[in-house]
Structure 1
Amino acid sequence: MRDYIRNFVRSHHCLCIFAVLQLTLMLSMLEVRIQIDQSPELQRPLTRVYVVGQPRELACSPFLSGFAMGAMFYGYGLIYLPTKGPLGGLLTTIRMTGLSVWQQCSPVMLLPWSMRVAQGLSMFPHHVWECLAKEPCLEADNFLLIVILATAAWIYLLILAITSFVVALRLNLRMLGARHIGGGDHELRAYAREINELLGFEMIVLST
């Protein structure tokens, strides 16, 4: 089972990264609210927990994750445009431009996802601090237990967010570095030239 999961991740690493990014984003969009119920019919204040999410934001969240995935596709996928036919020259120019822009700006595509996740993660500590300051929380039933469990879940989500961001960024940087070949192996450089000639543009940069 472990080997099957490992092989699946290797074969579908982009899909797995998207799933992790999307899961992290959706969890960060869910706001955990802790309220103290002080109804007169209750002998002691009661702690209530609500998980609130905006359906519209959750529905639009795949666009942010998909935008972040653009950092992990050469030239935002424009290099796969066919260049045969009367528009071949124009499509070749589009592919070269897309690859050039990706080379310079691809890490920036992780920024919107990162900002939205950071915004969602920052809401929980702020809410807990307000709850501790305004409510007679220590007298409420199960308040400390709920806060501890919610804090542990928030810490795990924070670790997941950092890990997924680092994995996506490292993959992007590795792809950026793999596009450049320095001096040394003449057979490798010749092979890279043949690939560039086959594609019709400089997919692999041969630095001197």
Structure 2
Amino acid sequence: MIETISRCIRYHRCGFVFLILQVTLMLSLLEVRIEIEATPGQQTFKTRMYAFLDPMDLLYSPLYSGFAMGAMFYGYGLLYLRSKGPLEGFLSRLRSSAMSVWQKCSPLMILPWCIKIVQGLCVVPVCLWLCLFNENLPQADHFVLLALLAIVLWLYVLTLAITSFILAMRLNIRLLRIRTIGRSDHELRAYAQGINELLGFEMLLVN
């Protein structure tokens, strides 16, 4: 069973990374708030935990994850444009430009995803910090329990976010290294130059 899962992950690595990015983003969009409220007709205070999820943020979340996945595709998909026909020269230059931009700027594609994650992770610490200045905090019931629950959830999302970021960046770095051919292997350099001439643009970088 474990071998089947690991084999499936290897064959569908990009889909697995997208799934992790999307799940992490959805969990970070879950806005957890802790409030201390007075009990009606009594002199006690209760701690309540609320969880909010904006449907619009949830609807647009795949766009952020998909944009982050753009860092893992050569030339942002323009590589697969057919260059035959009257626009052959223009499409070849377009693909070459896309590869050049991808080589230099692809890690920035994950930046909007990171911003959304950081915004979601900031909610719980700010909420707990504000609760500490509440004058009714010593009389509030179950504050410590709910605060610990919120912290555990926050740490889980933080760990998942760091893991997702590392997975995405490692995959991007691996793709960048695959494109580069070193100077030592002359046969491989000649083979790479032949591929570039056949494609009409610099698919592989030869140092």
Shorter-chain TM-score range: over 0.9
Aligned to 2:40: 40
* TM superposition score normalised by structure 1: 0.94
Between the aligned partners of 2:206 and 2:3, the Cα distance in structure 1 is 37
Amino acid at match of 2:94: I
Aligned to 2:150: 150
Between the aligned partners of 1:26 and 1:198, the Cα distance in structure 2 is 44
Between the aligned partners of 2:176 and 2:128, the Cα distance in structure 1 is 41
Moved more, 67-76 or 172-181: 172-181
Between the aligned partners of 1:7 and 1:46, the Cα distance in structure 2 is 50
Aligned to 2:8: 8
Displacement after TM superposition at 1:174 (Å): 1.9
* TM superposition score normalised by structure 2: 0.94
SS across alignment from 1:82? coil
Q: How does 1:88-103 map to 2 (within 5 A)?
A: 88-103=88-103
Q: Percent identity?
A: 54
Aligned to 2:77: 77
Between the aligned partners of 1:42 and 1:8, the Cα distance in structure 2 is 58
The answer (yes or no) to whether the contact 1:31–1:52 under 8 Å persists in 2 is yes
SS across alignment from 2:133? helix
CA RMSD of aligned residues (A): 1.4
Aligned to 1:183: 183
Moved more, 94-103 or 83-92: 83-92
SS across alignment from 1:10? helix
Aligned to 1:162: 162
Aligned to 1:30: 30
Between the aligned partners of 1:7 and 1:42, the Cα distance in structure 2 is 60
Displacement after TM superposition at 1:25 (Å): 1.1
Seen in structure 2, the aligned counterparts of structure 1 residues 127 and 82 have a Cα distance that, compared at 3 Å, is same
Between the aligned partners of 2:135 and 2:14, the Cα distance in structure 1 is 46
Point out where structure 1 has 5 or more consecutive residues left out of the alignment: none
Amino acid at match of 2:186: H
Between the aligned partners of 1:43 and 1:198, the Cα distance in structure 2 is 81
Displacement after TM superposition at 1:195 (Å): 2.1
Between the aligned partners of 2:140 and 2:4, the Cα distance in structure 1 is 48
Amino acid at match of 1:193: Q
- 1:94-125 CA distance string (max 9 Å, x none): 11111111111111111111111111101110
Amino acid at match of 1:88: E
Between the aligned partners of 1:129 and 1:28, the Cα distance in structure 2 is 19
SS across alignment from 2:36? strand
Aligned to 1:60: 60
Amino acid at match of 1:143: F
Amino acid at match of 1:119: Q
